[in-house]
Amino acid sequence: MSVTRRMGRNDREKSADRREAAGSTGDRRALRTRTALHRALIGLIVERDYDEISIADITEAADVGRSTFYAHFTDKDDLLRRGLGHLRGHLLEARDSAGGGEGAASRTLWFSRFMTEHLKEQHQLYRALMRGRAGPIIIDKIKELLSELVRTELAARENGSGAQAAPPEIAVRFVVGAYMSVVTWWLDRGARETPEEIDQAFRELALGGLGTLLRS
Amino acid sequence: MSVTRRMGRNDREKSADRREAAGSTGDRRALRTRTALHRALIGLIVERDYDEISIADITEAADVGRSTFYAHFTDKDDLLRRGLGHLRGHLLEARDSAGGGEGAASRTLWFSRFMTEHLKEQHQLYRALMRGRAGPIIIDKIKELLSELVRTELAARENGSGAQAAPPEIAVRFVVGAYMSVVTWWLDRGARETPEEIDQAFRELALGGLGTLLRS
Amino acid sequence: MSVTRRMGRNDREKSADRREAAGSTGDRRALRTRTALHRALIGLIVERDYDEISIADITEAADVGRSTFYAHFTDKDDLLRRGLGHLRGHLLEARDSAGGGEGAASRTLWFSRFMTEHLKEQHQLYRALMRGRAGPIIIDKIKELLSELVRTELAARENGSGAQAAPPEIAVRFVVGAYMSVVTWWLDRGARETPEEIDQAFRELALGGLGTLLRS
Amino acid sequence: MSVTRRMGRNDREKSADRREAAGSTGDRRALRTRTALHRALIGLIVERDYDEISIADITEAADVGRSTFYAHFTDKDDLLRRGLGHLRGHLLEARDSAGGGEGAASRTLWFSRFMTEHLKEQHQLYRALMRGRAGPIIIDKIKELLSELVRTELAARENGSGAQAAPPEIAVRFVVGAYMSVVTWWLDRGARETPEEIDQAFRELALGGLGTLLRS
DNA sequence: TCCTAAGCGAGACGGTACGTCTTGTCTTCCA
DNA sequence: TGGAAGACAAGACGTACCGTCTCGCTTAGGA
């Protein structure tokens, strides 16, 4: 339909390559520019909805020429997603700094504890990020990261008890989906409960199921 | 300079009213037009991504003037969401027609069974709908419908067994989030498993938790 | 509902400024674009009525994006009027190149001669320009230019002969209105008379009045 | 270009005929409707510019259905022009009621006197009418009416004095153009002078020419 | 030290979608 | 049967944004 929008697959690849190359060589200046753009974006997302933000808004906030934007990123989504690369670092850091007392990291579904606390600390930020059209992108990213943790954990803990009804990936999906559903609800309502309450409720349901809640 | 007069706040309100009124009164012609637009939209969503579809595309597919679109809907999202009103009907119908054998509807988390089967039957359609930017809107709608069912069921089955750790809404969020997470994964991969397998795995995890899967 | 944000009064001012500034600074490219648009417009006016010409028609003919149009002009009228800036140049040039023989420019109402000849030469063009809704705009512009000439001339020639019944501006208006009325009639009928005939008839009436034509 | 706008000549004729027929049969109701529309239009013209008035505005002001408009007139211009039919009546009436003292109607260019007075009386109305895009239409109509008077008068008064430089139509055009030019200027500035002053200045220039104003 | 290449700001431009407005037609329903 | 009501197709309008491009400026890093 749109001529502008729809580059052939190949053309897009090529320019992505160029951009990627620029990304890896990484002059000091280029790096500064990219960082400024990332910062500008999250700054703006906090105060208004993701898709009410134009690229011009971002470049203006970053004090950068609009054409410069296109020298580094293909897209607003591209900018967002690449900025999310740091997320993994933040999360692992949160995990490590959250020195759990007794047994800590050995607890099942350990991620729930430090993640919930992390979300609480930054809840203004995360609430903004998850609002609007940016939400799905960010939630997907977080899901991806958590899935990795859960997958590893489940693989490690798997008991050899024989007949395993479901493929493990279902359990991973189940757990992560349930967790995100609970915490987005929690954040949306203003994070009224403490992280501990959320963590505990989640873990109870995840480990013990609904069974105990129900009659007969 | 410009002859065009922008509408004041009040005028704008009024025409929104008219739109709404038109929506409810529903002349024969108007209804036909709206239906054509809904159909056109889902037709297009199947074949290409939601936000690569312009309003002109929709009206052209529906064989309707572009301005007519704006006489009925404010937005592409509006069109989508209002079209989703029918969803509830479809789902309830699916529930009722899925006459379960023994005890059927009395089974816990009964929704999982007929919903999964319904998704399987229409999986081409649902996969398309959940892809792209339309996904969140549709998933939210489905979550909303399922939450209603689950909330009712949990309220009915709640055992009086005393200390209830979490507010019931958490359990609702948990279950529905877990379910949608599992089935979107399933559909995305092409719905390789049978609905029964998915249903069983989900119900097992939901009712019994991960506990049994794990060592110690 | 609508994401689009209408500009406030101030922003609007600013972009008008930018337009104006662009108009005066005149990059090479911008100038080329503007010229192309002017040319396209008069090209189209010749072949069809002014207000059956859409802006899209103009930009297409000028091989220019429609939005580019709005970067330079606010309006179709704006384009036309600003294009008419050149008119003054053309007219003065016509005046100078029309080297009148004896005494030439010292003749009273000298403008009538070279103007009429100029109209005759370009009569196809002027006839088209004066037709339809563009007419008044163009005629007003020409009147303005001629008024200037006449005003100067009358001021210079004014005899001090005492009691002057009418403000001189009435005389200016009278002369210019009469002239334009005569020549538009002449052009509309296909410019059948020679410019000399028209010039002479006009000058006779203007200088001597109807008196001599009439009985008693 | 536009399919809607550009009916073939024949189609337009046909529907004009139908409309015309309706016009001549002239039911009582139909006549009332037409009158209401005329009134509504001039009412609106007084308060805002002709082409900022939409047909919907007119029909609303006339308390008439929009489709009814098209049953009587093809166009906004059509409505205006046909409403101007009354103008002739008004003018002749103004002429007759202006019983001039001595010699009255036998004075040369008699129209100037009563017309100028008439304009003065209704100058708010005429100023509004002549503003904007409606101006040319109305001015043309008035010119047409005045031309008729002048043409008759000149034919009657023509002295047989032989060599007549210009075709009489030029004189008609000259006089009427000059007159309208003077009075539009006068009205535009707020009709500051008395009608007598304007009349006298005009008649002096028209009958005696500029000659006497100028040196040598 | 120069100078040459890259990063960059500025902004013109083509393209396209948007949401609004108006026009003229047509159909239905009412008095 | 004439008119009111209003749905509709068509399409222009002015705005916003996008992605591309070209032009110079500046600012290193290498000759």
Q: How confident is the model at residue C197 (pLDDT cuts 50, 70, 90)?
A: very high
Query: Taking the complete model, does pTM exceed 0.75, yes or no?
Result: yes
Cβ neighbours of residue B211 under 8 Å, at least 6 residues apart? A207, A208, A209
D3 touches strand F (CB under 7 A): yes
Count of domains observed in chain D: 2
Q: Strand F nucleotides below 7 A of a protein CB?
A: 2-22
Cβ neighbours of residue C113 under 8 Å, at least 6 residues apart? C98, C100, C107, C195, C199
Distance of alpha carbon D160 from alpha carbon A178, whole angstroms: 109
Q: What is the pLDDT of residue B3?
A: 35
Specify burial of residue B31 (Cβ count, 10 A radius: 0-12, 13-18, 19+).
Answer: middle
Q: What is the pLDDT of residue B93?
A: 83
Tell me which chain C residues have a C-beta less than 8 angstroms from the C-beta of D155. Answer: none
Task: Name B158's bridge partners.
Answer: A214
Q: What is the pLDDT of residue A201?
A: 94
Give C38-103 as a DSSP string: HHHHHHHHHHS-GGG--HHHHHHHHT--HHHHHHH-S-HHHHHHHHTHHHHHHHHHHHHHS--SSS
Asked if residue D105 and residue D53 are part of one domain, the reply reads: no
**pLDDT: which is higher, D189 or A7:** D189
Q: What is the pLDDT of residue C115?
A: 93
Chain C: give the shortest CA distance to residue D138, in Å.
13
What percentage of chain D carries pLDDT values higher than 70?
77
Q: What is the pLDDT of residue A3?
A: 33
Chain C: give the shortest CA distance to residue A21, in Å.
33
In 3D space, the residue among B200, B199, B207, B197 whose CA is nearest the CA of residue B175 turns out to be B207
Chain B: give the shortest CA distance to residue A25, in Å.
33
Specify burial of residue D70 (Cβ count, 10 A radius: 0-12, 13-18, 19+).
Answer: middle
Asked if residue D165 and residue D91 are part of one domain, the reply reads: yes
Q: Which nucleotide is nearest to D74 (CA to C1')?
A: E24
Res C18 pLDDT > 50: no
Strand F neighbours among A 91-110, CB < 7 A: none
> By three-state DSSP, how is residue D110 classified?
coil
D22-26 average pLDDT score: 44
Would you tell me how many other CB atoms lie within 10 Å of the CB of residue A153? 18
Distance of alpha carbon D42 from alpha carbon D80, whole angstroms: 8
Which of residues C75, C98, C118 is at a domain's end?
C75
* Residue B63 · residue B36 · CB < 8 Å: yes
* Chain centroid offset of residue D145 CA: 7
D34-45 average pLDDT score: 92
C144-163 average pLDDT score: 80
Alpha helix positions (H), D74-167: 76-83, 85-97, 111-121, 123-130, 134-157
What are the tens digits of pLDDT across the range D144-153?
A: 999 999 998 8
Asked if B209's CB is within 8 angstroms of A205's CB, the reply is: yes
∠ Cα B134 B139 B143 (to 5°): 155
C136-165 average pLDDT score: 82
Which residue is listed with tokens 């506990």?
A: B211
In 3D space, the residue among C147, C146, C171, C145 whose CA is nearest the CA of residue C159 turns out to be C171
**pLDDT: which is higher, C9 or B174:** B174
C64-84 average pLDDT score: 95
Asked if residue A199 and residue A123 are part of one domain, the reply reads: yes
Q: How confident is the model at residue B94 (pLDDT cuts 50, 70, 90)?
A: confident
In 3D space, the residue among C201, C199, C150, C192 whose CA is nearest the CA of residue C171 turns out to be C150
Asked if residue A159 and residue A63 are part of one domain, the reply reads: no
Q: How confident is the model at residue B157 (pLDDT cuts 50, 70, 90)?
A: confident
Residue C35 CA distance to nucleotide E12 C1' (Å):
15
Mean pLDDT for chain B? Answer: 82
> By three-state DSSP, how is residue D18 classified?
helix
Res D56 pLDDT > 50: yes
Cβ neighbours of residue C140 under 8 Å, at least 6 residues apart? none
Q: Which nucleotide is nearest to A27 (CA to C1')?
A: E7
CATH number for position C35? 1.10.357.10
Q: What is the pLDDT of residue A16?
A: 42
8-state DSSP, C23: H
What are the tens digits of pLDDT across the range A30-80?
A: 888 999 999 999 999 999 999 999 999 999 999 999 999 999 999 999 999
> By three-state DSSP, how is residue B214 classified?
strand
What percentage of chain B carries pLDDT values higher than 90?
58
Task: Name A214's bridge partners.
Answer: B158
Which of residues C75, C97, C124 is at a domain's end?
C75
Asked if residue B128 and residue B167 are part of one domain, the reply reads: yes
Q: How confident is the model at residue D209 (pLDDT cuts 50, 70, 90)?
A: confident
Asked if B185's CB is within 8 angstroms of A181's CB, the reply is: no
Tell me which chain B residues have a C-beta less than 8 angstroms from the C-beta of A213. Answer: 154, 157-159, 164, 171
Amino acid identity at B51: D
Asked if residue A88 and residue A63 are part of one domain, the reply reads: no
B137-161 average pLDDT score: 87
Residue A71 CA distance to nucleotide F27 C1' (Å):
18
Q: How confident is the model at residue C129 (pLDDT cuts 50, 70, 90)?
A: very high
D80-91 average pLDDT score: 86
Amino acid identity at D77: D
| Distances, alpha carbon D66 to alpha carbons B63, B79, D38, in Å | 25, 29, 14
Res A123 pLDDT > 80: yes
Res B21 pLDDT > 50: no
| Distances, alpha carbon C185 to alpha carbons C178, C189, D202, in Å | 11, 6, 21
∠ Cα C185 C191 C195 (to 5°): 100
What are the tens digits of pLDDT across the range A130-143?
A: 988 999 999 999 99
Q: What is the pLDDT of residue B132?
A: 86
Asked if residue D95 and residue D41 are part of one domain, the reply reads: no
Mean pLDDT for chain D? Answer: 80
Asked if residue D36 and residue D71 are part of one domain, the reply reads: yes
Asked if residue A169 and residue A187 are part of one domain, the reply reads: yes
Q: What is the pLDDT of residue A105?
A: 57
**Least reliable range by pLDDT among A1-15, B22-36, B43-57, B130-144:** A1-15
Which of residues B18, B42, B75 is at a domain's end?
B75
Can you give the residue range of the structural domain that contains A71? 3-75
B70-84 average pLDDT score: 94
Side-chain-facing half-sphere of A23: CA atoms under 13 Å: 16
Res B134 pLDDT > 80: yes
Asked if A158's CB is within 8 angstroms of B215's CB, the reply is: yes
Asked if residue B16 and residue B109 are part of one domain, the reply reads: no
Rounded to 10 degrees, the C-alpha dihedral B91/B93/B96/B99 comes to -90
Res B155 pLDDT > 50: yes
8-state DSSP, D109: T
In 3D space, the residue among C181, C91, C76, C187 whose CA is nearest the CA of residue C134 turns out to be C76
**Least reliable range by pLDDT among A114-123, B97-106, D121-130, D160-169:** B97-106
Asked if residue B89 and residue B53 are part of one domain, the reply reads: no
Asked if residue B130 and residue B180 are part of one domain, the reply reads: yes
Which residue is listed with tokens 């620029």?
A: A22
Neighbouring chains to D with at least 3 Cβ pairs closer than 8 Å: B, C
Residue C37 CA distance to nucleotide F12 C1' (Å):
18
**pLDDT: which is higher, D213 or D8:** D213
